[in-house]
Each structure stands twice: as C-alpha cells, then as structure tokens.
Amino acid sequence: MTTSNKKGVFITFEGGEGAGKSVQLARFAEYLQNHNQEVVTTREPGGTETGKEIRRLLVEGDKDKFDEITEILLFYADRRIDLTKVIHPALDKGKIVLSDRFNDSTIAYQYYGSNKFADRRIMDNLYQIVAGDFKPDITFLLDIDVKTGLERSFKKAQTMTNKELRFENVDIAFHERLRQGYLELAKQEPERFIIIDASGSMDEVSQKIIEAYEKRIKE
Ligand code: TMP
C-alpha cells in the first residue's frame, strides 16, 4: 500500500472532453506560485516518462483495441507510477500537487461511461491496491454540456500532430453518461468536490476556480 506522510495538498482537476482542465490547471498553478506556494503538476495518464508510454497506448488508435480489463489495468499501472514517483514524494515535501485527472476519471469513463461493468468493485479494489486510503483533498469538476465540450476538443485536436481522439471517438451517449457519472460522484463526496461551470470564457472559469478555492480553504 502507498502511504504518504502527507504534509502537502493534493488537488485534482476532472471533467469530460473539452472542459478546459489542462489550461485551467496551468492557470491555477500560476496563481498558487504567485502566492508563494511550491507547486508540482502531473497528469494521468502520462505524468512520468514511463507513464507517457502508457498514455500513448491508451489514447491513440482504435477505440476497441483493448478489452475493458486490460484498459483499466493500464490506467491503474500509470496511476501507481504517478503516485510513487511524483505525487507522494512531492506531498512529503509539503508541496501542492495538481493533477490533470485522477481516479474519478476511471470511475467516470470506465464505469459510468463505458457501461461495461455491473459494479465498481474491480476499480475500487484496484484503487485500494494502488493507492490505499489516499484521496485528493480537493477535486475541481469542470462541468460542461457534452456538445460544447466535444466541439472544443475536436477543434484542439486539429492543431495537434498526434491525434489523441480515442475517447472522443465514442458515441455521444457515452459522454452524457460520463458527465452524469461525474455529477453523481460529486454528490457522493461534496466535501471533496467543487463543481465549476466550465461553459464561460477561460478568464471566467479561472476566476471561479480561484474564488471557490479561497472559500474552501477558509472553511
Ligand atoms: P485527457 O483528456 O486529460 O488528455 O485524458 C486522456 C484520455 O484518457 C481522456 O479521453 C480520458 C481518458 N481517461 C480514462 O478513460 N480513464 C482514466 O482513468 C483517465 C485518467 C483518463
């Protein structure tokens, strides 16, 4: 089991396609650094060099290339590497760790979205093996309607050389289930989640994140 003498703070950014997580994470990191905080950023999949190789396997190519068990094992392998090499070492040093996606993505995409599992036990068991009782302190859920999110996502992919569209290339019902799944997770853990309406401009969304964070740390 992975434990950390947690002195730092672990904050995750979650959301469906095109919600703007990555941009918002970078802006939030800048805000924290301007407030003299030491920040480490990571992403899943792909927060480490080995993780990047796992990411390439996962996000490129045919959407049916893995059976569902193989797929989640790869996500948890990447998560384990991220936890042991990046997240826990940084938290042990008292840093704030920001992660672009974490375990809620697996529950939202592989459980709620893909609809291939009768229950969450396989993911919950794997999470226990990989992370033990460790959890993010705060999770920002960037919520956006599915159509707007996918339009943003395809537009961004046109500018990229590698076309990371394996998960975008599934039907719209998948993305609707995924969005509802995230909202359900947020309902189950209101003390951890902060839902952010991600439909506005980048500046508006950044402002909402900062305001919500400042409010949360005062509570
Ligand atoms: P990204 O959109 O943050 O770049 O993430 C890459 C893709 O991987 C995205 O389509 C969501 C998907 N994903 C899962 O399906 N399950 C997971 O556990 C994670 C971390 C990501």
Q: Whose CA is nearest to atom 20 of ligand 1?
A: 44
pLDDT in tens, 43-59: 999 999 999 999 999 99
Give residue 105 CA to ligand 1 midpoint distance, Å: 6
Query: With respect to CATH, is domain 9-218 assigned 3.40.50.300?
Result: yes
Q: How is the chain split into domains, by residue range? A: 9-218
pTM comes to: 0.93
Give the pLDDT of residue 1: 40
Give residue 94 CA to ligand 1 midpoint distance, Å: 27
Residue type, position 71, single letter:
E
Sign of the Cα torsion 65, 125, 85, 94 reads positive
Ligand 1 nearest-atom number relative to CA 79 = 20
Q: Is 162's pLDDT higher than 70? A: no
Per-residue b or e along 16-38, where b marks 16 or more CB atoms closer than 10 Å to that residue's CB: bbbbbbeebbebbbebbeeeeee
Give the pLDDT of residue 103: 98
Give residue 142 CA to ligand 1 midpoint distance, Å: 14
Q: Is the CB of 75 under 6 A from ligand 1?
A: yes
Residues sharing a CB contact under 8 Å with residue 62, sequence separation 6 or more, in sequence order:
166
What gap in Å lies between CA 104 and CA 148, rounded to an integer? 21
Q: Whose CA is nearest to atom 21 of ligand 1?
A: 105
Q: Whose CA is nearest to atom 10 of ligand 1?
A: 167
Q: Is the CB of 14 under 6 A from ligand 1?
A: no
Q: At what angle do helices 49-59 and 68-82 cross, to 10 degrees?
A: 160
Q: Is 164's pLDDT higher than 70? A: no
Q: Is the CB of 167 under 6 A from ligand 1?
A: yes
Q: Is the CB of 208 under 6 A from ligand 1?
A: no
pLDDT in tens, 3-43: 555 689 999 999 999 999 999 999 999 999 999 999 999 99
